[in-house]
């Protein structure tokens, strides 16, 4: 790799001004080139601060080539300059302790803001390690190492792998091979438990934490067509877990029924207790065993991930060679709900009238309109709700036809006619309710 000084001379081809004449203003050049020219006279002597400006300039160039906007480029380097300006140092002299003290004290902001800044700092250090690690070590004797270590690294920082699930045929062969090898397992109940957990996660699409926290009393065989089980769903925006119902379908119902009847009783705790975990751990801690509690602890999500990783290495074939619980959730959505294109194509268990589009509400109201106007309009034979493309919309009765068929009832007591004042038409939903005193006056 060429030295930074040679790279700068190749970029700035204008002749250097003499001592008698001042340096002309840089017109038509980018701001980053101006910054590079101003720092050229200082970086030759080994000034780390000037070299830091060079790295920031080249980092913005690289991200500009990647297609980022100008405002995004400024936000990328702002956290690095902020922390380095607070400690009056260069990035490769920063330590994880300094970064922790800054974001826990003077630079403490919201949770999302701190996570965003830490991710940007980590990205800048990845650029330094890739392009300038050798030069910084040779010129300044410092090793480039990111101050964002595994202890202060924010969760969900965006460096996820490729979430492409295996094909439906590969998943079918994977579970078939796994189930065929279950009798050869050293611990048969534990192997069956891991198999049923993976198959249930693939069938219902629940998360690993939701699946591990399920209890025997949360299974409701009578709900829906095939039954459902209650899980502690993930709460939005840090609001905490919320209960929701997960579907078992025909395959999941048969599997869970076999597991509860044949396998669940082979574990150490009491399987008749509704508070007992659905997926218990095989090992009882000494503190729990000394208390003689009839409920065993549930298996943790980490143990489920390890067992799924081991099974995928043994029985999964194809381009995808590793499975984890969230990839089973993606596979469930891809294989089971990919043919579903609209609310009318969903199974009856998934049709929710309160979430249908506005057009579906209108058509459902049109189908139910003859039954609601039975006292004011001619009788019509109600027809089942169909897809809009299958049958045309029924014709609505006009107000003239409704009044001709059944005139409005007259009041019981004659009242003095009042002049009619024209005003905006308001529906019954938007009409202001009559107060109790007004009702008493009109009785």
CB crowding 44-79: b at 16 or more within 10 Å, else e: eeeebebbbbbbbbbbbbebeeeeeeeeebeebbeb
- Same domain? For 179 and 325 the reply is yes
Domain containing residue 308: 168-337
Do 162 and 128 meet the contact criterion of CB atoms below 8 Å apart?
Answer: no
CATH number at residue 202: 1.10.443.10
In a domain, 362, yes or no: no
From 296, 316, 337, the end of a domain falls on 337
pLDDT digits 0-9 by tens, 263-308: 998 988 888 888 899 999 987 767 766 777 778 889 999 899 999 9
| Weakest-pLDDT range from 263-277, 289-303, 397-411, 414-428 | 414-428
- Same domain? For 126 and 248 the reply is no
pLDDT digits 0-9 by tens, 136-171: 999 999 999 999 998 888 876 554 556 789 999 999
- Tally of domains within the chain: 2
- Same domain? For 38 and 110 the reply is yes
pLDDT digits 0-9 by tens, 64-118: 998 888 888 888 999 999 999 999 999 999 999 999 999 999 999 988 889 889 9
- Same domain? For 200 and 274 the reply is yes
Residue 225 pLDDT > 80: yes
- Same domain? For 172 and 126 the reply is no
Burial class (CB in 10 A: 0-12, 13-18, 19+), 209: middle
- Same domain? For 127 and 177 the reply is no
From 313, 337, 361, the end of a domain falls on 337
């Amino acid at each position: 790799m060429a030295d930074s000084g040679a790279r700068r001379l190749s970029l700035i081809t204008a002749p250097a001004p003499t001592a008698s004449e001042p340096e002309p203003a840089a017109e038509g050049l980018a701001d980053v080139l101006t910054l590079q020219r101003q720092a050229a006279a200082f970086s030759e002597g080994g000034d780390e601060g000037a070299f830091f400006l060079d790295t920031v300039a080249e980092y913005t160039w690289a991200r500009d080539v990647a297609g980022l906007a100008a405002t995004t480029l400024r936000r990328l380097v702002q956290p690095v300059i902020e922390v380095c300006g607070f400690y009056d140092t260069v990035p490769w002299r920063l330590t994880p302790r300094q970064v922790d003290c800054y974001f826990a004290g003077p630079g403490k902001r919201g949770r999302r803001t701190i996570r965003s800044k830490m991710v940007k700092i980590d990205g800048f250090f990845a650029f330094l390690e890739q392009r300038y690690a050798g030069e910084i070590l040779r010129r300044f004797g410092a090793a480039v190492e990111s101050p964002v270590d595994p202890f202060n690294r924010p969760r969900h920082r965006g460096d996820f792998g490729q979430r492409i699930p295996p094909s439906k045929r590969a998943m079918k062969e994977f579970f078939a091979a796994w189930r065929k090898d279950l009798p050869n397992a050293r611990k048969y109940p534990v192997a069956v438990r891991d198999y049923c957990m993976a198959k249930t996660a693939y069938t219902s699409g629940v998360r690993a934490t939701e699946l591990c926290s399920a209890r025997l009393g949360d299974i409701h065989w009578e709900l829906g067509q095939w039954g459902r089980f209650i899980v502690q769903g993930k709460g939005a925006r840090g609001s905490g877990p919320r209960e929701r119902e997960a579907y078992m379908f025909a395959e999941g119902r048969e599997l869970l029924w076999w597991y509860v009847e044949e396998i669940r009783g082979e574990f150490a705790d009491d399987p008749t207790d509704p508070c007992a975990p659905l997926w218990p751990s095989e090992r009882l801690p000494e503190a729990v065993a000394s208390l003689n509690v009839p409920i065993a602890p549930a298996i943790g999500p980490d143990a489920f991930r390890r067992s799924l990783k081991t099974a995928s290495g043994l029985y999964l074939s194809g381009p995808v060679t590793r499975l984890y619980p969230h990839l089973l959730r993606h596979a469930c959505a891809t294989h089971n709900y990919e043919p579903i294109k609209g609310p009318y194509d969903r199974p009856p268990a998934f049709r929710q009238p309160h979430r249908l589009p506005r057009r579906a509400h209108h058509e459902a109201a049109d189908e139910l309109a003859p039954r609601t106007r039975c006292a004011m309009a001619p009788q019509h034979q109600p027809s089942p709700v169909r897809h809009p493309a299958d049958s045309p919309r029924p014709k609505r009765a006009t107000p003239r036809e409704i009044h001709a068929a059944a005139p409005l009832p007259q009041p019981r007591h004659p009242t003095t006619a009042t002049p009619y004042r024209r005003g905006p038409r308001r529906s019954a939903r938007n009409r202001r309710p009559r107060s109790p005193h007004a009702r008493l006056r009109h009785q």
